[in-house]
Amino acid sequence: MERIDEACSAAGTENTILLPETSFRDPSGIIPAVANAIRGRLFESEAIAAAIRDERLVIQDGIPLSDETSHVARVVSELAAEDMGVAVFTHHNDMLAALSDALEADGIEHEVAGLSDALAAALDAQTAMARFHTGDGTWGIVLEAIAVFLTSAQRGQKAPPIAYQVMNGSGPTTLQARLSALRERLSEAGSIREVIEVAATAHDALGLPQKSGAWQQAATLLSVMYARAARTISARDDHQMVAAICAEAREASYAALTDSALSPREVQLMNLYQTKGREADATVVVLREGDFMGYESEPFPTTSRLLYVVFSRARHKIVVLLVGNRFHAAVAPLAALAAN
C-alpha cells in the first residue's frame, strides 16, 4: 500500500507519471535503442549496427535443431562464467524442460519460471503424489491435483467430465481401477526416486486424454529438482527431500501465475510470452524455425511489441540464437543481420 500511495502522489493532479529519458536498466541507452528499433522494425538502423559492433547484441544463426539444447546451455555457461545473471527466453516449453536438465547436469543453478498452466498443474499433481508417498499429503489431494490438471488441459469455462469422475469416484470402472493401481504403486514405492518414476508414467498409466507433453515436461523438471535436493540435503530424509522438491515446484508455479519469483536465481528460464517484469545482465532469446508468431502481416504490431519487451530485458547484453533455417517473417530480418 505504501508503494501505491507513493505512485499516486507522484502522479499528481494530472494523474501522469513522467518517466526519465535515461533507462535505469541500461543507462548507456544502447539496449533501449535496440529494443525501440526492433519495435519499429528498423533492423538496418544505426542503433542496431552500433550494438552489434560493440557486442552488446550478438546474433548466432545456423544452429541445428538437434543441437539446440546443448548450444543454449553452452551460451548460458559462458555468460554465467562472466558473472552475469542470465535470462533465457524461448517459445517452447519442451526446450525449457530439456535445457533445465542440461544445466543441472553442468551444475548450473537455475530457476524455471513462466510455466504454462498445464505444465504447472502437471508439476503440482506429481509433487502431490510424492507427498502422498511420505504421508505428508492425502490421496484426496492427489485426486484434486489430477482433476486440476485435466481442467487446465481443456479449453472452456467448465471442468471436463473426467475431472469430476476422478474427484468423486464415478465414471468408467477402468479409470477407477487405474487410479487404485496408481495409489498402490505410490504407497509401495521403495524410494523417492521410484515415486518420481511412477509419477512420470501416471499420465499414460491412467489413460489421460490430453497434454501428455506437458506431463512429461513436468516429469523432467521434477527429476532435476530431485537431483538438486539429493545433492543439497545431507540427511537424505524422505520428508525433507520431498519438502525441498515441493518448495521449488511451488515457486515455479507461483512464478507462472504471477510473472514474478520469490527468490530468483542468477539463471532463469522462461517462456517468450512471460518476460514482462523480468530482467537480467544478459538475455538469451531463442527463436526456432517454425515458431508461430500469429497471422499478422507487416509491420507485425503485436509481435513487434512482444519483441520490444523481450529485447528490453537486458542490462548489458542480448544474445539471439536462431535455431533452424527458415523463420517467420516477423523475425526473419534478424537472420539477415546474422548473415551479414
H/E segment holding residue 323: strand 314-323
DSSP bridge partners of 89: 270, 285
209's CB contacts (< 8 A; 6+ apart) are 150, 153, 162
The DSSP code for 28 is: T
- Any idea of the CA torsion for 44, 47, 49, 55, to the nearest 10 degrees? -140
pLDDT at residue 17 in the model: 54
pLDDT at residue 305 in the model: 93
User: Are 256 and 113 contacting, i.e. CB atoms less than 8 angstroms apart?
Assistant: yes
pTM over 0.75: no
- The span from the CA of 265 to the CA of 84, in Å, is 11
- The span from the CA of 281 to the CA of 290, in Å, is 28
pLDDT at residue 29 in the model: 87
Residue 38 to residues 44, 111, 120, 329, Cα–Cα distance (Å): 10, 28, 31, 13
Mapped onto helix, strand or coil, the DSSP state of residue 233 is coil
Ranges under pLDDT 70 in the chain: 1-12, 14-25, 114-115, 155-157, 233-236, 253-265, 274-277
86's CB contacts (< 8 A; 6+ apart) are 76, 79, 80, 266, 267, 268, 280, 281, 282, 283, 284
- Any idea of the CA torsion for 122, 101, 198, 178, to the nearest 10 degrees? 40
